Amino acid sequence: MFDLGPANPHLGERSRNARIESSLLKFLKTTGLRLRLNYGQKIFLLATIPLVVAAAAIAVLVTYQSRQLAEREIAALEAQLIAAKREEMKNYISLARTAFVNIYGRAGPDDEAAKLAVTQILAAMIYGQDGYFFVFDYEGNNLVSPRLTYLIDKNWRGLEDRNGTPITDELIKLARKGGGYHSFDWIKPSTGETARMIAYVAGLQDWKWAIGTGIFIDDVLDKVAAARAGTQARIRTTFIWIGLITLSALLTVFLTGLLITIRERRLADAKLKELTQRIFDTQEEERGRVARELHDSISQILVGARYALELARRHLNVGDDRGPGSLNKGIDGLSGAIQEVRRISRDLRPGVLDDLGLGPALKSLTEEFSARTGIETEFETVVFSNRLDKDSKIALYRIAQEALTNIERHSGASRVSLKLGGHKSGATMRIQDNGRGMENKPSRSAGQPGIGLRNMQERMEQLDGTLRILSSRSGTVIEAQVPLTHLLPPESKKKKASA
């Protein structure tokens, strides 16, 4: 028999260590499970990280493109405004030349009395707060400067603005070539401060004079600066909204929203292309119409007037008695050109439509049409209590305008009637002529009406109205109906409601 002796004291310690080790293993396993991501969370994380990055990239790209597009639009706006200013200056110079053309045409190179008379005329021709005409001779001496009189009778060769841009020398150089534009900084008479100016100068070569006028473009620069500031604000707002929408979409409709966005963007691009093309077509149509008007009427009248004035100048130079007659013909031609300009301006936007309403505007349109074409025109309107809204008035007026134009050019009609009235379903305008109708016009493919008829149809579609066209060998009827939703309540009812 062996004696086991006393129990081993290290057995209890090893047991405790085993229990502690077991507890640690359980804790580590539990913690590892909590830190480990499941499959769905991994998928969501993999999907959201690219989305956030893509959203940020899109926001930056949209901001950049918006800024670039805005800069191009602002540059185009600035170019349009400056072009308008330049055209305005050329008109001023034309008016000034008209004022002294008779004196200049009869005078010789050394006729001091004629020169004095012309300088007096130009000194008196001031316009606006800052507009005036200036004259330098080719030696650099200032002859006319009504708003800055200290310039007169002094030689200003070598004059430059604060940026070192030559002024007098460049104006004389342009005048020697016949005329042109020059931009520089100049003192603004109304404020006494230096501002940017665009000047147009023309040359009187017989007298060696540079005559010109200038327009300050600080208002144009202010508009451009305001447009740029507004664009920056809109870009910042757009950037913020993109971020907010992205965060919302990130938690809600990620996959569905992505598919919808792709589809809608494609549709929007297609519609945008279609709309852009339609805008370009409309612009070209309008430009072509105005160009035809200018070429067929004003251009020919002005050519005749110029020929008559040149003939009058030759007669007056040789002392021929036929000079005044030719001069009167030229003046009559210019009067006719002025009337044509007024007519074209009324065609583009009649003031009576805004001031008096659709009825008087249509009456004026038909009266002018009858006087111009000799076609017997009857206008009839029934006064009704409801009033048309602005869009309807413009649409009906343009339809009437287009219809009368087609009648004048194509129908060969001798009588036209235009009737306007209201009823329980809305308002109706009816235009009827006794011409040859559309059946005898060159055939078009089905579904491809003329530009004028297409414009009429589109105007009525925008108002949810209807356009009916009935044509035969005995004439054509165009009937445009505006729905009741575009009629404003009577004035009396509005007043009662407000009371």
**What residues contact residue 138 under an 8 Å CB cut-off, 6+ apart?**
172, 175, 176, 208, 209, 210
The reported pLDDT for the residue numbered 454 is 78
Amino acid 165: pLDDT = 92
Of 32-46, 77-91, 114-128, the poorest mean pLDDT is in 32-46
**3-state SS track over 244-296:** HHHHHHHHCCHHHHHHHHHHHHHHHHHHHHHHHHHHHHHHHHHHHHHHHHHHH
Q: What is the pLDDT of residue 170?
A: 92
Q: Roughly what angle, to the nearest 10 degrees, separates helices 254-293 and 323-348?
A: 160
Which pLDDT value is given to residue 493? 46
Question: Tens digit of pLDDT for each residue in 190-238?
Answer: 888 888 888 999 999 989 999 999 888 887 777 778 877 887 787 778 7
Instruction: Using DSSP bridges, classify how beta strands 415-423 and 387-388 pair: parallel, antiparallel or unpaired.
Output: unpaired
Joined tokens for residue 256: 């569905």
Picking from 375, 386, 402, 378, the residue whose alpha carbon sits closest to that of residue 467 is 402
Q: Which residues pair with 201 in a beta bridge?
A: 180, 212
pLDDT in tens, 337-370: 787 777 777 666 666 677 777 888 888 888 888 8
Reported confidence tier of residue 446, pLDDT bands at 50, 70, 90: very low
Question: What is the model's pLDDT at position 492?
Answer: 52
Q: What are the domain boundaries of the chain?
A: 41-252, 275-343, 353-498
Tens of pLDDT along 256-299? Answer: 545 665 677 788 788 778 767 777 776 777 777 777 777 777 77
Say which amino acid occupies 338: I
288 against 167, higher pLDDT: 167
Express as a percent the part of the chain with pLDDT over 70.
79
Is pLDDT above 80 for 247? no
Cα-based distances in Å from 276 to 75, 265, 437, 458: 20, 16, 33, 16
pLDDT at res. 259: 63
52-76 per-position pLDDT tens digit: 777 777 777 777 777 777 777 777 7
Decide: residue 287, CB within 10 A, 0-12 exposed, 13-18 middle, 19+ buried: exposed
Most confidently predicted of 13-27, 167-181, 453-467, 483-497: 167-181
pLDDT, tens digit (0-9, with 9 covering 90-100), for 398-416: 899 888 888 888 888 889 9
8 secondary structure, DSSP code:
P
The pLDDT score that the predictor gives to residue 436 is 83
Q: DSSP for 406-473?
A: HIIIII--SEEEEEEEEETTEEEEEEEE-S--STTSPP--TT---HHHHHHHHHHHHTT-EEEEEEET
Q: Which of 102, 134, 108 is closest to 119 using CA atoms?
A: 134
**What whole-number distance in Å separates Cα of residue 203 and Cα of residue 391?**
49
Q: Does domain 41-252 have CATH number 3.40.47.10?
A: no
Position 143 pLDDT exceeds 90? yes
pLDDT of residue 135: 94
What distance in Å separates the CA atoms of residue 167 and residue 171, rounded to the nearest whole number? 6
CA dist., res. 12 & res. 112, Å (int): 135
State the average pLDDT for the chain. Answer: 78
Q: Which long-range contacts (CB under 8 A, 24 or more apart) does 140-144 make?
A: 140/168, 140/169, 140/172, 143/119, 143/209, 144/119, 144/211
pLDDT at 417: 92
Q: What percent of the chain has pLDDT over 90?
A: 13
Confidence of residue 21 (pLDDT cuts 50, 70, 90): low
In this predicted structure, the answer to whether residue 166 has a pLDDT above a threshold of 90 is yes
- Between 347 and 139, name the one with better pLDDT: 139
Query: Per-residue confidence at 460, pLDDT binned at 50, 70, 90?
Result: confident
In DSSP terms, which residues pair with 482 in a beta bridge? 427
Is the pLDDT at 31 greater than 80? The verdict is no
Residues 6+ apart with CB under 8 A from 39: none
Domain 353-498: homologous superfamily in CATH: Histidine kinase-like ATPase, C-terminal domain (3.30.565.10)
